[in-house]
Chains A and B, each alone.
Chain A
């Protein structure tokens, strides 16, 4: 594996991780495609130098190792499908809320509120069709977690 390939992988992973931790799903999509490229490059790197079989059982042969290429191709196909799905999800979220932010879990917020004594009442008990808008709450400046994953009040 050449140093250039290594640097490219490191750069892609760095950018990818940064983007994936964003709130906006369109950035997460970009982040995952970066990470996917990094994974494909490292698969190619794992195959050893061009026209050389992999590290173990290395013999002098003029044929390139086909296996990492097959693995990469499969990985590319899968990441293509998943990117499309994420984009469709982002669009649906956009239709529903006007943005594409990953929101906090309503039930978690409710249980956490119960514990701190700021009960909003049972009117918002159902998560799915509830009128309570987590996106609005976010905009209202309620201090909620900004991470990608939602919080677990019961666990932490």
Chain B
């Protein structure tokens, strides 16, 4: 990756359109992975990675994406930490979890618990990590390229 030389061409419209189309689908997939993670393959990490991939695609296409990884990381760490120590307040063991089950009309039996909250923290941390690395790995270069492209 060179940082000098002629300005690279602006990102193509086709990519932008594709990313625009893919974004909601990918977020839906992430939500599915997040909720299926309780008993099936998936979970917070996988969901976070899918959301992170969306961020990466938006970066490549020169579209805006959240640029404050510190916020994601901090929020994630707080959620994870609090879920870990919360059971101590009720005298339960460290990292104890509560499992809840409901019978919901259309979805059938829904099983979730405090582990899902922990997973939410994991999602936030993973997204924060991906955004931080995207920033470090060249989002600035691409932003410059977009600026150069629009200026022309």
A85 to B129, CA, bound (A): 10
Q: Answer yes or no: B138 CB below 8 A from chain A CBs.
A: yes
Q: Please provide the chain B residues from 78 to 120 with a CB less than 8 Å away from any CB of chain A in the complex.
A: none
The interface residues of chain B lying within 8 Å CB-to-CB of A91 are: 1, 136-138
Q: Answer yes or no: B72 CB below 8 A from chain A CBs.
A: no
Q: Answer yes or no: B45 CB below 8 A from chain A CBs.
A: yes
Contact A88–B136 (Cβ < 8 Å): yes
Q: Answer yes or no: A121 CB below 8 A from chain B CBs.
A: no
Q: Answer yes or no: A60 CB below 8 A from chain B CBs.
A: no
Q: Please provide the chain B residues from 16 to 62 with a CB less than 8 Å away from any CB of chain A in the complex.
A: 45, 49
A38 to B1, CA, bound (A): 30
Contact A73–B138 (Cβ < 8 Å): no
The interface residues of chain A lying within 8 Å CB-to-CB of B3 are: 95
Contact A94–B45 (Cβ < 8 Å): no
The interface residues of chain B lying within 8 Å CB-to-CB of A84 are: 129-130, 133
Contact B1–A87 (Cβ < 8 Å): no
Q: Please provide the chain B residues from 117 to 140 with a CB less than 8 Å away from any CB of chain A in the complex.
A: 129-130, 133, 136-138
A85 to B133, CA, bound (A): 8
**B45 partner, pick from A77, A85, A92, A95, beta carbons under 8 A:** A77
Q: Please provide the chain A residues from 37 to 58 with a CB less than 8 Å away from any CB of chain B in the complex.
A: none
The interface residues of chain A lying within 8 Å CB-to-CB of B45 are: 73, 77
Contact B137–A88 (Cβ < 8 Å): yes
A95 to B49, CA, bound (A): 27
A55 to B129, CA, bound (A): 37
A88 to B129, CA, bound (A): 12
The interface residues of chain A lying within 8 Å CB-to-CB of B137 are: 87-88, 91
Q: Answer yes or no: A81 CB below 8 A from chain B CBs.
A: yes
Contact A81–B129 (Cβ < 8 Å): yes
Residue of B nearest to A98 (CB): B2
Contact B133–A88 (Cβ < 8 Å): yes
**Residue-wise interface mask of A (89-121) relative to B, using a CB-CB cutoff of 8 A (1 in contact, 0 not):** 001101100000000000000000000000000
A68 to B133, CA, bound (A): 29
**Residue-wise interface mask of A (65-77) relative to B, using a CB-CB cutoff of 8 A (1 in contact, 0 not):** 0000000010001
The interface residues of chain A lying within 8 Å CB-to-CB of B1 are: 91, 94
Residue of B nearest to A85 (CB): B133
A94 to B45, CA, bound (A): 30
Which 10 residue pairs of A and B lie closest in terms of their CB atoms, listed nearest first? A88-B136, A84-B133, A77-B45, A91-B137, A88-B133, A88-B137, A87-B137, A81-B129, A84-B129, A94-B1
Residue numbers of B with Cβ under 8 A of A are 1, 3, 45, 49, 129-130, 133, 136-138
Q: A80-B49, A94-B1 given. 11 additional CB < 8 A pairs?
A: A73-B45, A77-B45, A84-B129, A84-B130, A84-B133, A88-B133, A88-B136, A88-B137, A91-B1, A91-B136, A91-B138
